[in-house]
Every structure is written in structure tokens, then in C-alpha cells.
Amino acid sequence: MLTLRKTQKALVPIQNIDLTKEFVGMAVKMTPGGVAHHAGIVISYSGSLYLCHYTGSIVVMEPFEPLSWYIVKSTLLVSAEEVLPFFSHCRLAVMGSKPEYGYFYSGSYYLNGSYFTMNGSPELMTCVGFCLNVFNGFFEAIGFVQYSDWDASTLPAGYLDEFKRIIPTRFPNLTFEELSKDLRRITPTEYLCTGFLETLSIRKEDTDSILSLVTGVISQYPNPAL
């Protein structure tokens, strides 16, 4: 059972990471109000710490800024022996990805630097969606999350209408009906929760069961720099 003490110990501010340990983990950037508002993948490898993320305009893999305000949860789903292969997997994803921003996820993934999707959907995603695409490609045979557990119910107000309006110009070969079934939002905090889970594919009910606990702990780390 995940307790408050275990959660506090497991969620580490980026400044406190032990660089002698190699790992892959989930990272979220905090607002001054103590809310996770951006997500990325953290990789501790060969004494350095890297952030792989989609900024909303570009995809980058870069060394962590010493004063960046991220909270990190390492995942046991990627073993120490798999850190180097995962590092290479991320680099290929960064080089081959060309995402557009949107609250959309269709179970797609990056593999060998290429974007794959079962239904021909566009390379449309949020910062969390990019992370899911990377992890999903690494766990291709299993699937990282049961993405259909999430739906459009938590999308920002007005997003459906705005998305419907832009389809003819951004995606002229697709219809709203084809795309709307994969409109969904998985929040940065929900993504952070996946770092505590060890069984694939991860279900929403599993992240929901620890969401309140994780939200409470990370709220104690507001970002003073924003």
C-alpha cells in the first residue's frame, strides 16, 4: 500500500537527484501554485541527467537546468540495464518526431524514430502524449497505458468546438467523427502517478487510486521562478 511517507520519499525534486544511480523516470514541472503543468521523461545516465520532452512547439532532449523546478518519480518498469537502450530510444524519437499540439491520444507510439498509429491518426499530442508515445514504443508488445480508460470529459471548456472548427484546415483528409473518439486528456499529475505502478498496461483506476495522495505531496513544491 502506498503511504504518505513512501510517496514523499519517492517524489524527488530535481535538485536532489542522486546522479550515481541510473534510472528512467517521470518528471513534472510545477507552477507557483504547486500544480503540475508540464511533463517530460527524465533519464539519469552516466553521471548526467537528461530531460526528453515536447514543449508544445518542439521536441528536445537536453541536460536538466540545475535550477529547473521539476519533481521526479523513477519507474521500476525500466531496469538499470535498460537505461541505455531507453536513452537511445528517446534520441531516435526526438530526431524523428514532428508532433502538433492537441488533447489527443490514440495508442500511438514511437519506434526506431518513426511514428506509428493503428488508425492513421495525425501526430497530435500534448507533452504527456509525447511521453506516452515514447514509453508505449518501448513497451510495444504490451502497451504502456490502457488509454481508452480516459475520455474527453476533462478537456478544457470549448476545446471540442475549437477542434471541430480547425479540422478542415489542419486535417483536411479526416473528419471530426473520425478524430473525436481519440480526444482525451491525461494530466501531468496522472502521468506522474504511472511512475508508482509496476503492471502494464496501466489503468486509469490505478492512477485514480493514488492521484489525491500524489497531488497533495507535489503541491508542497511550488515553483518560485515562474
Say which amino acid occupies 179. L
Tens-digit pLDDT profile for residues 148-183: 999 999 899 999 999 999 999 999 999 999 999 999
Beta-carbon neighbour count of residue 15 at 10 Å? Answer: 11
**Which CATH number fits the domain that encloses residue 127?**
3.90.1720
Residue 25 sits at φ, ψ, to 5 deg, of -155, 175
67 pLDDT above the threshold of 70 = no
Q: Is residue 181, in this structure, part of any structural domain at all?
A: yes
pLDDT band per the 50, 70, 90 thresholds, residue 226: low
Q: Is residue 42, in this structure, part of any structural domain at all?
A: yes
- What is the C-alpha to C-alpha distance for residues 136 and 130, in angstroms, rounded to an integer? 10
Residue 221: C-alpha distances to residues 37, 124, 189 (Å): 13, 30, 13
- Prediction pTM value: 0.96
Query: How remote is the C-alpha of 108 from its chain's centroid?
Result: 13
Q: Is residue 223, in this structure, part of any structural domain at all?
A: no
Residue 225: C-alpha distances to residues 51, 70, 123 (Å): 19, 12, 32
Q: Is residue 221, in this structure, part of any structural domain at all?
A: no
64 pLDDT above the threshold of 90 = no
Tens-digit pLDDT profile for residues 73-93: 999 999 999 999 999 999 999
Tens-digit pLDDT profile for residues 25-60: 999 999 999 999 999 999 999 999 999 999 999 999
Q: Is residue 48, in this structure, part of any structural domain at all?
A: yes
pLDDT (0 to 100) of residue 119:
79
- What is the C-alpha to C-alpha distance for residues 89 and 208, in angstroms, rounded to an integer? 29
Q: Is residue 218, in this structure, part of any structural domain at all?
A: no
Q: Is residue 204, in this structure, part of any structural domain at all?
A: yes
The count of domains in the chain is 1
**Which structural domain, as residue segments, surrounds residue 145?**
4-213
Residue 219: C-alpha distances to residues 45, 64, 111 (Å): 28, 21, 34
141 pLDDT above the threshold of 90 = no
pLDDT (0 to 100) of residue 27:
97
Q: Is residue 220, in this structure, part of any structural domain at all?
A: no
